[in-house]
Amino acid sequence: MRLIHIDPTEHRKPLPLVELANLEALIQPTLEQIEPENGSVATFSANIKVKLYSDSAHLRQFFAHNWGKTLTSNETSLGDVCVVALRSDLVDGAPEILPGRRYVDPERRIIVSVGSEYYGNVKVSVRGLCSSLVRRKNCGGFLHGASMNVDGAGIVVCGTSGAGKTTATRALMDFYPDGIRIINDDWGWADHETATIAFTGEPRIHMKYRSVRAIAPHLRPSPACYLSENFEGNEEDPHARLLIRREEVFESGVSDSSSFDGLIVILRDESKAFFTRPMEVSDLDLLEIAEYSAFYDRHERFMDGSLLLVDQADLDSERHRFRLLLENIPAVLVNNVASPRRIAQELQLQLDRLGVL
C-alpha cells in the first residue's frame, strides 16, 4: 500500500523562518523520545549527514525514500544538520514553539516545525540547512536549478519556482537528443570555486507530477505506483508531487558529476519581449531580488526559496557567493516567453558565443 497524503486545507507553502536562541535545548527532551531517520546530501567530495525527527509516519517514509542513507565509515562527512517536523501542535515544555512557522537556531544547524505533515517543509529545511552549512565552512554551494552535462559542458538552469526550468530543460533535451546527461533535476551542488557540479545522491527525487509528464510523457505515474502527496487526480496540479528514481524519468541520460562551465537564469516577464543576453556582475541585484514566484506567492531571493536568509550576515554571505559566481562562470539570462525550440536555439547561440559550448 502506497501512502497518499491528501488534505486540501493543508497549508502547502514553506513556512516562514524565526530564529530562536535556545532552540536546541527546548527541543532536546522531545528528540530523546523519537528514533531519527538518517539521510545524507552529497557534495562533490563529501557528504552532509541529515537527521529527521518526526512523529509522522508520512514524513518519515517520504524522507527515507528521498534522502535516506547511513554513511559508511570510509565516506567523508562535511557536517551534521537536523530537521524536527512534528504533526502535533505543541512541544512539551516549549510553549514558544507554535504552528505556522519554522524555527531555526543561530548556528543554522537545526530547524523545528509543528502542526504540519507537508513534506515540502521538510525538503526546503534540508536544503536550507545544507546551504547554510557549506556557507559557514566557505567550501562551495548549492543552486536551485536543473544541472546537466550538455555536449561535454556542465550547465545549471536556475530560476524561481514556476519560472520555467523544466520547460527549458525539456527544450534542451529535445535540441540535444543524444548529448545531455541530467545530474540534478531541481537543486544540487554547483561550486564556482572548484568548477564542479555533483549529484545530491537522492535515492528518489521529489518531483511535481506535471514535471514528470513534461520530461517523460511515456510515464503514467499515479499513487498506485509511487509515493505521492497532495495528489487529487489532477496531474497538472502544481502541488501534486511524487517520489521517483532519477533513472525512471531521465532513463540512461544521467550523470553523477561534471565540470561547471555555464549558468542559465530563467525569468518569465510577459510584459516584455523574448530575449537572451549574457549576464554580468552588475546583474547581482537582479538575482538578489529575483522574480516574484506566483507558485509560492513571494519573491525568492537568489532564485532559491529554501535559503535561510534570516539576518543581514546571511544575506551578505549569499551576495558574496553570487558575485563570485558571476565573475567566474559564464552566465546567460533568458526571458521565458517564447516557444521551447526558440529558447533552446537562442541559448545554444549565447553559450557558444561565451565559449561554453
C-alpha cell of 76? 567523508
For the whole prediction, is pTM greater than 0.85? yes
Q: For position 292, what pLDDT does the model report?
A: 56
Phi and psi for 306 in degrees, rounded to 5? -85, -15
Domains of the chain from N-terminus onward:
4-137 (3.40.449.10), 142-204+245-353 (3.90.228.20)
What's the pLDDT score for residue 295?
A: 58
List of the chain residues with pLDDT < 70: 1-14, 71, 73-74, 291-298
- Overall residue count recorded for the chain in this entry: 357
Provide the strand spans (E) within 34-152. 37-42, 47-53, 77-86, 102-104, 110-114, 142-150
Residues 6+ apart with CB under 8 A from 186: 144, 145, 146, 165, 205, 206, 207
Q: Mind listing the pLDDT tens digit for each residue in 207-260?
A: 999 999 999 999 999 999 999 998 888 888 888 999 999 999 999 899 999 999
State which H helix or E strand residue 55 sits in.
none
Partners of 334 in beta bridges: 266, 276
Helices marked H in 32-140? 57-66, 119-137
